Amino acid sequence: MQAFIEPLFVNIAIVFSFTHLLNMFFPLHPGVIPSLKNKVIFGVISGIGALVCMMFPIETLKDSFFDLRNVPIMIVTLYAGWLPGAICSLFVIVARSGMGGDFAWLGVVLTLLAYVVALIYQGFFDEDKRRWVSAIYIAVIYTLFYILFIHSYLEFLTIDFYLVYFSSFLIAFFSCIFLIERLVKINMQLKETVYLDKLAVAGQMAAAIAHEVRNPMTTIRGMIQFLGSTTSDEKLKEHSPLLIEELDRTNKIITDYLSMVKPDIPKLESIDVETILIDVVSITAPYGSIHNVEVSLREIGSYLICTDEPKLKQGLINIIKNGIEAIDHAGTINIYKYKVTKKYITIAIEDNGKGMTEKELEQIGLPFYTTKAKGTGLGMMVTFKLIKDMSGKLRYESELNEGTRVLLTLPLSTNSDQLQKEVVM
């Protein structure tokens, strides 16, 4: 039995090491769709990891080679998609064919089995609330087929082998999923820490300059408005509206700063989410019409959420407005129910605009980052803060030239008492 255990524990260590290595160079984040380049890199790194596993097989089973090479195949397919899984599988198939032996064909079949099973159930695995259920289902299906194949063609295998090998496989598979989920949470916490640090810096700047700048601006705006309405100078009459517009835009930037850092406890109350969305759509639809964009709301259903209504409306308007401006020509903004759990409801706001790159997704919500020619990057930062203050979550999913989907998760009113305590604390 020791001859079985030692190489398999080495294989488990290899799988963990390559998972950490991948996260070190390409931090894992939820909802971020990898670019084609990254998918290829994921496939190559996973393939190398599988090949390293093949260097430490169980060597006491005639000319068969058993190791945990199929774990990287299944993991990378489930998390990154068909292309990385295919690349990893190709590495393994070529290597196993090159090793030869009477059972080389069986090794290739089992490799393809791992890839196909993971590919079939990838969509089911992508749903966060069912991830562990689907992982168990995938592992059981693959294990049963695996046992059926090797039991039919490799009669020399003992019960000790079955117990040790498949226990190791399940430990590696589930531990790797657990590790990835933990790494994703840690990466999100680090990202939030950086965000809060930048928010604090922006807040200090805002507190220092807002009051001193606003007072003279108000005086200047009043004088321009007065002179523009009373003067006979045509040039002044022509340009005064533009001057007032620019002053108002500057004032809005200062207001965004203050909204971003102002300590404000949200007034949480139970409100029907569909009612809020109907109001927001009626507000943003005219702006969409100007840009030839249709803002449509699918039936959500009656769900009471625990929220601050004015702040939620402000955040939703910012999100929809950004979606409208991301569409160059005619397009649509679709708002629909994405997911409901016992404690939360997730609303999707999806556009068919120009989308964002992976790098742009990582920076969205940071101060001064914007893709607009005249933007400041503060609007989305304010939106993130508004949603966070209500114990909600905001997540962006996007692909260049394919559009963007914003997932807004809000607490249902069943948690209102607890949430109010958390906000006060």
Give the CATH number, domain containing residue 17: 1.10.1760
Residue 418: what pLDDT? 44
pLDDT exceeds 80 at position 62: no
The lowest-confidence range among 167-181, 260-274, 346-360 is 260-274
**Same domain membership, residue 65 and residue 154:** yes
How many Å apart are CA 364 and CA 369, to the nearest integer? 7
pLDDT exceeds 60 at position 373: no
Per-residue burial over 268-298, b if 16 or more Cβ lie within 10 Å, else e, is beebebbebbeebbeebbeebeeeebebebe
Section 121-136 average pLDDT: 80
- How does residue 261 score in pLDDT terms, banded at 50, 70 and 90? low
**Same domain membership, residue 18 and residue 110:** yes
**Same domain membership, residue 274 and residue 178:** no
**Same domain membership, residue 154 and residue 67:** yes
pLDDT exceeds 60 at position 151: yes
**Each residue's pLDDT tens digit, 5-29:** 888 999 999 999 999 988 888 888 7
pLDDT exceeds 60 at position 376: no
**Same domain membership, residue 79 and residue 168:** yes
The lowest-confidence range among 78-82, 334-338, 346-350, 394-398 is 394-398
**Same domain membership, residue 147 and residue 54:** yes
Section 372-395 average pLDDT: 73
Residue 389: what pLDDT? 78
pLDDT exceeds 70 at position 337: yes
How many Å apart are CA 298 and CA 310, to the nearest integer? 22
The lowest-confidence range among 39-48, 121-130, 220-229, 316-325 is 121-130
The winner for highest mean pLDDT among 111-120, 121-130, 225-234, 335-344 is: 111-120
CATH number (domain holding residue 281): 3.30.565.10
**Same domain membership, residue 22 and residue 156:** yes
Structural domain of residue 327, as residue ranges? 269-420
**Same domain membership, residue 18 and residue 153:** yes
**Same domain membership, residue 285 and residue 400:** yes
Percent of the chain with pLDDT over 70: 84
Bridge partner list, 271: 305
Instruction: Tell me the three-class secondary structure of the chain, residue by residue.
Output: CHHHHHHHHHHHHHHHHHHHHHHHHCCCCCCCCCCHHHHHHHHHHHHHHHHHHHCCCECCCCCCCECCCHHHHHHHHHHHCHHHHHHHHHHHHHHHHHHCCCCHHHHHHHHHHHHHHHHHCHHHHHCHHHHHHHHHHHHHHHHHHHHHHHHHHCCCCCHHHHHHHHHHHHHHHHHHHHHHHHHHHHHHHHHHHHHHHHHHHHHHHHHHHHHHHHHHHHHHHHHHHHHHHHCCCHHHHHHHHHHHHHHHHHHHHHHHHHHHHCCCCCCCEEEEHHHHHHHHHHHHHHHHHHCCEEEEECCCCCCEEEECHHHHHHHHHHHHHHHHHCCCCCEEEEEEEEEECCCEEEEEEEECCCCCCHHHHHHCCCCCCCCCCCCCCHHHHHHHHHHHHCCCEEEEEEECCCEEEEEEEEEEHHHHHHHHHHHHC
The lowest-confidence range among 173-182, 393-402, 404-413 is 393-402
Section 387-394 average pLDDT: 84
Nearest CA-CA partner of 292 in 328, 318, 261, 256:
328
Section 119-132 average pLDDT: 79
Residue 402: what pLDDT? 85
Residues present in the chain in total: 425
| Other residues' Cβ atoms within 10 Å of the Cβ of residue 341 | 11
Domain boundary among 191, 214, 246: 191
The answer to the question of residue 218 being in a domain is no
Q: Using CB atoms within 10 A of its CB, is residue 109 exposed (0-12), middle (13-18) or buried (19+)?
A: middle
More confident residue, 155 or 49: 49
The answer to the question of residue 313 being in a domain is yes
How many Å apart are CA 209 and CA 257, to the nearest integer? 10
More confident residue, 154 or 34: 154
| Other residues' Cβ atoms within 10 Å of the Cβ of residue 131 | 15
Nearest CA-CA partner of 106 in 162, 64, 163:
64
pLDDT exceeds 70 at position 415: no
Section 393-422 average pLDDT: 76
How many Å apart are CA 270 and CA 44, to the nearest integer? 50
What average pLDDT does the structure give for the chain? 83
- How does residue 202 score in pLDDT terms, banded at 50, 70 and 90? low
The lowest-confidence range among 48-52, 208-212, 288-292 is 208-212
How many Å apart are CA 345 and CA 371, to the nearest integer? 29
The answer to the question of residue 244 being in a domain is no
- How does residue 195 score in pLDDT terms, banded at 50, 70 and 90? low
Domain boundary among 141, 159, 191: 191
Residue 194: what pLDDT? 72
The lowest-confidence range among 206-215, 221-230, 407-416 is 206-215
The lowest-confidence range among 12-21, 133-142, 254-263, 275-284 is 254-263
Domain boundary among 191, 206, 231: 191
Angle, to 10 degrees, between the axis of helix 36-54 and the axis of helix 2-25? 160
**Same domain membership, residue 286 and residue 180:** no
Residue 340: what pLDDT? 87
Confirm if 46 and 68 have CB atoms less than 8 A apart: no
Residue 41: what pLDDT? 92
Residue 204: what pLDDT? 67
The answer to the question of residue 15 being in a domain is yes
Section 302-307 average pLDDT: 89
**Same domain membership, residue 416 and residue 279:** yes
The answer to the question of residue 369 being in a domain is yes
Q: Return phi, psi of residue 307, to 5°.
A: -155, 170
Bridge partner list, 397: 405
What total number of domains does the chain contain? 2
Task: Evaluate if pTM is beyond 0.75.
Answer: no
The answer to the question of residue 407 being in a domain is yes
The answer to the question of residue 205 being in a domain is no
The answer to the question of residue 254 being in a domain is no
Section 362-374 average pLDDT: 61
pLDDT exceeds 70 at position 371: no
Section 376-382 average pLDDT: 66
**Same domain membership, residue 402 and residue 303:** yes
